[in-house]
Amino acid sequence: MSAATVDQGGLDHVNEQPHEYWIEKMRRRGFEYDRQSSLQVREEWAGKESWASVAQLIERRLIRLPQDEKLVAQLTSRQRGYDSRGRLRLEPKDDLRNRGVESPDRADAVCGAVALRLQADPYAFDPVGRQNMGAMMQKSLRLMERSRAIGYVEHVNWDLL
């Protein structure tokens, strides 16, 4: 299972809880926590997500990479596919090695750096998306102000948002 952790961010994460909460909740229902498997799944998921994010940013020309032939080769040599449930699957590093392809260390570094930046700021590489979100939030705030009930007492200074 997967669950949103505290302060994860994103959309529709209405029940963010620390990992320990979910571990205990599942333990009470007879499930056992397998730390090694959990860490492996998290690592695989994080890797897939960051590689997919970088690919999208490059395709949309939202990031520029240094002119580095080795980096380009590493970013383009790792095969990806989908499992039977339609989830993204990256070629495991063991398979890369078996094909005679070296470990994509530079590409992993770029993907990790991008993932950290996006975690801190989802619109870091998308100024138009940031503007659109800001405009949508302003519109929502105006609509909320117009629909205030009679007798409403202002308790939030909307100008500070």
- Summarised one tens digit per residue, pLDDT across range 3-22 is 666 765 555 556 778 888 88
Within this chain, do residues 24 and 72 fall inside the same structural domain, yes or no?
A: no
The pTM of this model reads: 0.56
81 and 23 assigned to the same domain: no
**Structural domain of 48:** 39-115
Query: How many domains, the chain?
Result: 2
Residues 80 and 107 in one domain: yes
> Per the domain annotation, does 76 fall within a domain?
yes
Output the CA–CA distances (angstroms, integers) from residue 124 to 81, 108, 114, 115, in the order listed: 27, 19, 9, 10
User: Could you give the percent of the chain with pLDDT greater than 90?
Assistant: 9
- In this prediction, residue 52 has a pLDDT band, given cuts at 50, 70 and 90, of confident
27 and 55 in a single domain? The answer is no
| Within a domain: 48 | yes
Residue 19 forms part of a structural domain: yes
- The per-residue pLDDT for range 63-72, each reduced to its tens digit, is 888 899 999 9
pLDDT grade, residue 86 (50/70/90)? confident
Give pairs for 37-45: CB < 8 Å, separation 24+. Answer: 44/90, 45/2
The full DSSP string for 36-95 is HHHHHHHHHHHHHHHHHHHHHHHHTT-----S-HHHHHHHHHS-EEE-TTS-EEEPPHHH
